[in-house]
A and B are shown apart, each in its own frame.
Chain A
Amino acid sequence: MTRLPGSQSTEDTVRTFMRGRAKAIPPELEGSIRRAIRRNPSRTNGPRSWMSLAAAVAGMAVAAVLIAIVVRGTALPPDRGVGPPGAPSPSLESGTPEPSSGELQCAPPDNPLIDREETVPPERDEPFEPFYQERDVKRLNAYAARHADEFGGSWIDWETETITLTFTQALERHRAGAQGAAPGAPIRILRARHTEREMRDLQDQIAGDARFHERLGFRLYSAGYDVKANIVQVEGAACRPETAEAAFGERYGEQRVRPTIYPLPGPEPEQPQAGDGWRLVAELAEIGEPYTARFLDGQREYDARWSELDQEGRPPPVDFEHEAVIDFGAARGLGGECGWAHLTRVVFDKEERLVYGDVSHPVPPGIICAAVAVPQTFLVAVDRSRLPERPFTVRLSQQRCGPCTEEVVVQSR
């Protein structure tokens, strides 16, 4: 390991530096957090507007970039693309695909952050020590630069513990050349279909191909050379992802570019204000308890719930002689990535003695949902004549999932 003046190793120096960065919390911040909690933003009306759509789109952009960040190896040359190296490629002679890393998916609603199967981290670890020498890396970089017309890329491969270099031809000659440049270094030589120079040029071409993007209705998130896959990875979003992906393959060559294109959300639909046998009396953003359902049978319960939801004044009028109120405690992801939920209908199933809501999301699945569910409450006045015979069940959705807070059994009066 490289030793620095003062006999500190790089790792020691970086550790010291990182601990120096990690300063103690400013005294006023803790109080500020407490005040924010007391103000309880989860119990204030959040705006429902195009801002939320903008947040959703921004969230998608981040999602795509984060999804793109799947580091499979450490590219030796600086990676010029937004996205780092990705999956291994069939175009290389060998290499075992690693499990994908850094996946970001919508978490299950009942326990968004923690895998119950998650193992307890081991208490001890071996000291970190690279298997390679920096000087060998530099020498091999210099060798590669001298053969740029055949060089496909290089990376530190932690699975095979080799410095791996790829070339488009003359592998034996390059194996001998590389070993001559860095004697004793753990070198692996593989075949690449394309040179790095070609891929970098293509990456730049794609990044600058604004007219093509515009024609496709495509929004570019990242374009980067995936050195291990020997391909340019493109991430972005379009209204018709399949069409856009096909267009990318056709324009740049399917063996040279791998587009991953996510759907752009359409305009956020309007929340219906009424439907067959129901009408919306209040929609409360970031208020309530996610994954719950309540049945409010009379004015007193309704007033109490209104107050519990921190709403001021009298609740919207409900004719409890002919109506009852259902409180659907829906949820959305945090930060706008998942958009606002919409209650599209209320279903009265007399046969099953079940009343449930149909809650939809404007953003399709597969886009990152951040970790924490944010409540979104729909208070719905329902026509009593449409309710099943008691006892019946009121549920957040047709299918049960997770704990039983999402349904309530309404008993006989």
Chain B
Amino acid sequence: MVILELADDVRVAREGDADAFDRLVSQQADGAYRLAVAIVGPADAADVVQEAFLDAWRGLRSLREADRFEPWLRRIVINRCRMALRSTRRHQARVRAEADMHRQEGGLSDDFRLGSETRASLEQAFEALSADQRIVLALHYVTDLTIAAVAVELRLPIGTAKSRLAAALAAMRRALEEQSS
């Protein structure tokens, strides 16, 4: 039912109806933001998501299959995340900004039960991951796609998706071991 409504809104929005696109924003913005913030962090996520929705608005006429809007938007978000991560200078600035934001946030969210030292170690390890590894982690653990689905979404051989996940997990594991030792 939800899918049908979404597809209907996509069809109407495709004709330039901004109200219909608003409804798509309502339905999809949170998921898009969660994905983006997991990949690029809070300093860049808002820009990434806003630009992604603008891209989607501009390009909606080219989306033929209305019921594929969600994965289509996700691809746009991922593209925008890659752009945000590509500059070393921006990357370094973002790391600093994120550290500041985390300090300001103070408390932990409900589902975040890790100790602050563990979280800091993982953050540090995560910052060192490649964009590809981050994207696989986010799609698998945040968007809850299976590894097979991640491979399909990123158009990768499943072995490649698995190896990216394994490399990312190995890096995180090393960080945890160093922190606990």
Find out whether the CB atom of B159 lies under 8 angstroms from the CB atom of A159. yes
A30 to chain B: closest residue by CB: B29
1/0 per position for B46-77, CB-CB distance to A under 8 A?
A: 10011001111111011111001001100110
With known contacts A14-B122, A21-B41, A84-B130, A110–B62 Cβ distance under 8 A: yes
With known contacts A72-B160, A113-B63, A134-B170, A32–B50 Cβ distance under 8 A: yes
A290 proximity list for chain B (CB < 8 A): 61-62
Looking at chain B's contact residues, is the secondary structure mostly helix, strand, loop, or mixed? helix
With known contacts A29-B50, A33-B53, A375–B30 Cβ distance under 8 A: no
Question: Shortest beta-carbon distance, B102 to chain A, in Å?
Answer: 10
Whether a CB of chain B sits under 8 angstroms from the CB of A170 is no
A14 to chain B: closest residue by CB: B172
A20 proximity list for chain B (CB < 8 A): 108-109, 111-112, 114, 119
With known contacts A16-B111, A36-B53, A30–B25 Cβ distance under 8 A: yes
A2 to chain B: closest residue by CB: B173
User: Could you tell me how many residues of chain B have their Cβ less than 8 Å away from some Cβ of chain A?
Assistant: 83
Question: Shortest beta-carbon distance, A200 to chain B, in Å?
Answer: 18
B65 proximity list for chain A (CB < 8 A): 111, 114, 116
B41 to chain A: closest residue by CB: A21
B154 proximity list for chain A (CB < 8 A): 102
Question: Shortest beta-carbon distance, A69 to chain B, in Å?
Answer: 6
With known contacts A25-B29, A372-B76, A18–B58 Cβ distance under 8 A: no
Whether a CB of chain B sits under 8 angstroms from the CB of A341 is no
Find out whether the CB atom of B180 lies under 8 angstroms from the CB atom of A25. no
Question: Shortest beta-carbon distance, A348 to chain B, in Å?
Answer: 29
Find out whether the CB atom of A29 lies under 8 angstroms from the CB atom of B54. no
Per the bound structure, the CA–CA distance linking A116 and B119 in Å amounts to: 41
Whether a CB of chain A sits under 8 angstroms from the CB of B137 is yes
B64 proximity list for chain A (CB < 8 A): 110-111, 114, 116
Find out whether the CB atom of B112 lies under 8 angstroms from the CB atom of A121. no
Interface size range on A against B: 35 or more
Of the listed stretches A123-131, A143-151, A261-269, name the one at the interface; the rest are far from the partner chain: A123-131
Of the listed stretches A3-11, A244-252, A298-306, A353-361, name the one at the interface; the rest are far from the partner chain: A3-11
Whether a CB of chain B sits under 8 angstroms from the CB of A112 is yes
Interchain CB contact (< 8 A) of B59 among A10, A21, A71, A372? A372
Find out whether the CB atom of A125 lies under 8 angstroms from the CB atom of B122. no
A190 proximity list for chain B (CB < 8 A): none
A22 proximity list for chain B (CB < 8 A): 34-35, 37-38, 138, 142
Whether a CB of chain A sits under 8 angstroms from the CB of B99 is no
Whether a CB of chain B sits under 8 angstroms from the CB of A398 is no
B68 proximity list for chain A (CB < 8 A): 114
Other than A20-B108, A25-B29, A109-B62, give 10 A-B pairs with Cβ distance below 8 A: A21-B142, A22-B37, A23-B109, A24-B30, A37-B22, A61-B86, A71-B132, A110-B64, A113-B75, A121-B152
20 sampled A-B residue pairs with Cβ under 8 A: A10-B172, A19-B141, A21-B41, A22-B37, A23-B109, A29-B46, A30-B29, A32-B46, A37-B53, A40-B57, A69-B131, A74-B166, A111-B63, A113-B62, A116-B64, A121-B152, A121-B153, A130-B166, A335-B83, A371-B79
